[in-house]
Copies of this chain bind each other. A is one copy, B any other.
Amino acid sequence: MKVKVLKFGGTSVGSTEAIKRSASIISDWSKKYKVIAILSAMSGETDRLIKLTKIFSKSPNSMDYDNAISTGENVSCSLMSIYLNSIKIKSRSLLSWQIPIRTSIEHTKARILSINQDKIFKELQDYDVLLIPGFQGINSKNEITTLGRGGSDTSAVAVAAAIDAECIIYTDVDGVYTTDPNLVKNAKKIPQISYEEMLELASQGAKVLQTRSVELAMRKKTKLSVRSSMRPKISGTIVTEENSKLENNTVSGIAYSKDEAKITLSRVLDKPGVSSKIFGPLAKGNINVDMILQNVSQDGKFANLSFTLPRGDLEKALKILKKEKINIGYKRINSSNTISKISVVGVGMRSHAGVAQTLFDTLGKNKINIQVITTSEIKISILIDEKFTDIAVQKLHQAYKLYK
C-alpha cells in the first residue's frame, strides 16, 4: 500500500474555493496513492473559538479549553470529506480519538506519544482518503489535548512517521526561502535543505514549518517537503538528510524574529545552582528561554546574566523573577522589548571560516550594534535593536550572496 501524507493549513481550507482547490490536490494524489490529509481549522476559526472561551474566563481551565478549540479541525475534515465523497472519492474524516493519537497528559501543548497505525491501515483498506484533524490528540485520561500553535505540522509528520510515508506540507508559500521574500525582494527559494538547517531556520523565525515538526521529521528520518496549495505544480522545498550536494552551501538562509525580549540580571552570585534558581521558576511558568549569556565579573564572585524570551512572556517572567529576588540573589533587573534576533544558518559553516567575520563586517559598516551573539555549529544568532531588523536582513542576504 503506497500512502502519501499531505497537510493543509488554515488558509488552504479557509474558504469554499480553498477547500475545493485543496481537494483537487488530494484527488490528483489519490490516483496513484492512498492519501491521508491532515487539516487545520479554517483560517480564523481557532482564533474565534479562543476568543469565545476568553469571554467566560481570562484563564480558562485547560481541559475544557482544549475541547472547545479543537472542534475547528473536526469541521474542516468533515467538510473536506463531504466534498470528496460528492466528487466520488471514497473518503472519511477520522478523529484523533477514533485512531487514537495518544499524547502526553498536559493540555494546550501536549506532545504526541503514539499513533495507532493498525487503525489507520485498516481504514485505508476501506477508504482512499482519510481526513485527520491536526493539532490534537487524546491523553491517557481520554481527554482531548491540543499541541499548541502550528501543531498541525507536527500531527502530519507524526502520522507520516507512524506509517513510514512521505509528508508534504501544503501552505500559502511555495517553499523555504533564503530569507523572508516580503523583506528581501530577490530572496531565493531553496530546493533542498537539511533537517538541521530547516530546524534552525524554523526555530529562528522562518514561519514555513513548525519547529517541532522538523525535529520530529529529523528524528524519524521522515521525508518532508513544502509546497504551495495555490500553485501545486511548482516544486517546493525538500527537507532531507545532509548530502554532498548540500555541503556546497556555506549559508543557506537568514531568519529573523521581532517577537523577542531580553532580561538582564545584574550582579548574580556566581556559584553552582544559581542558574536553576533562575530558570527553574521560569520553566515552571512555561516560559521558554532562548539565548543565554553570562559574563563573570572581574573579581570572579558575581556575574551579569542576560537571556531572551518571547515578548509575550516578558511581563510574566519579570513578575516571577521579582518574586524570586531574594532566593536568586541578584542586585538589579533590566529588560528590553525592542530587540530582534537575526540568525544566519548553514551546514557549510562548520567547514567554512569567515561566516562570522562577514556578519560583523556587514553590521559594522551599517552602524548596527550587536547586543548579544551566540553560535552553534550551523548557526550564528545575534540580538540587535528592533528598528534595524529589516536593513540588517537585507544587507546580510546580499553579503552572503543568497540572491537569485
Q: Give residues in A with beta carbon < 8 Å to B.
A: 16, 19, 49, 52-53, 55-57, 60-61, 63-65, 67-68, 71, 74-75, 77-79, 81-83, 85-86, 92-93, 95, 97-98, 142-144
Smallest Cβ-Cβ distance to A143: which chain B residue = B98
Expressed in whole angstroms, the minimum distance between the Cβ of A289 and any Cβ of chain B is: 30
Smallest Cβ-Cβ distance to A87: which chain B residue = B57
A82, B68: Cβ atoms closer than 8 Å: yes
| C-alpha spacing A95/B77, complex, angstroms | 19
B74, A86: Cβ atoms closer than 8 Å: no
Residues in chain B near residue A79, CB distance under 8 A: 52-53, 55-56, 64, 68
| C-alpha spacing A61/B143, complex, angstroms | 28
| C-alpha spacing A355/B117, complex, angstroms | 67
Counting chain B CB atoms within 10 Å of each CB, the highest count among A63, A68, A78 belongs to A78
Expressed in whole angstroms, the minimum distance between the Cβ of A85 and any Cβ of chain B is: 4
| C-alpha spacing A92/B53, complex, angstroms | 14
Query: With A56-B19, A71-B75, A98-B142 given, is the CB distance from A64 to B81 under 8 Å?
Result: yes
Residues in chain B near residue A60, CB distance under 8 A: 82, 85-86
Q: Show 11 A/B contacts (Cβ-Cβ < 8 Å), sorted by A.
A: A49-B75, A53-B79, A56-B79, A56-B82, A61-B81, A65-B78, A65-B82, A67-B78, A71-B71, A71-B74, A98-B142
| C-alpha spacing A389/B19, complex, angstroms | 46
Residues in chain B near residue A144, CB distance under 8 A: 95
Contact of A56 among B16, B49, B55, B56 (CB under 8 A): B16
B49, A64: Cβ atoms closer than 8 Å: no
Query: With A19-B56, A52-B75 given, is the CB distance from A95 to B83 under 8 Å?
Result: no
Describe A's contact surface by its main secondary structure.
helix
Residues in chain B near residue A75, CB distance under 8 A: 49, 52, 68, 71
Residues in chain B near residue A63, CB distance under 8 A: 92-93
| C-alpha spacing A86/B54, complex, angstroms | 11
A78, B92: Cβ atoms closer than 8 Å: no
A68, B74: Cβ atoms closer than 8 Å: yes
A61, B74: Cβ atoms closer than 8 Å: no
Residues in chain B near residue A142, CB distance under 8 A: 98
B82, A16: Cβ atoms closer than 8 Å: no
Counting chain B CB atoms within 10 Å of each CB, the highest count among A57, A82, A86 belongs to A82
Contact of A83 among B56, B81, B82 (CB under 8 A): B56
B97, A82: Cβ atoms closer than 8 Å: no
A85, B61: Cβ atoms closer than 8 Å: yes
| C-alpha spacing A242/B400, complex, angstroms | 89
Expressed in whole angstroms, the minimum distance between the Cβ of A180 and any Cβ of chain B is: 34
B64, A82: Cβ atoms closer than 8 Å: yes
A64, B78: Cβ atoms closer than 8 Å: yes
A61, B49: Cβ atoms closer than 8 Å: no
Residues in chain B near residue A65, CB distance under 8 A: 78, 82
- 10 residue pairs, one from A and one from B, having the closest CB atoms: A68-B78, A57-B86, A56-B83, A71-B71, A60-B82, A67-B78, A64-B81, A64-B78, A61-B85, A56-B82
Query: With A52-B75, A67-B74, A71-B75 given, is the CB distance from A82 to B57 under 8 Å?
Result: yes
| C-alpha spacing A3/B95, complex, angstroms | 32
Smallest Cβ-Cβ distance to A56: which chain B residue = B83
Expressed in whole angstroms, the minimum distance between the Cβ of A65 and any Cβ of chain B is: 7
B67, A53: Cβ atoms closer than 8 Å: no
Expressed in whole angstroms, the minimum distance between the Cβ of A98 and any Cβ of chain B is: 6
| C-alpha spacing A79/B55, complex, angstroms | 9
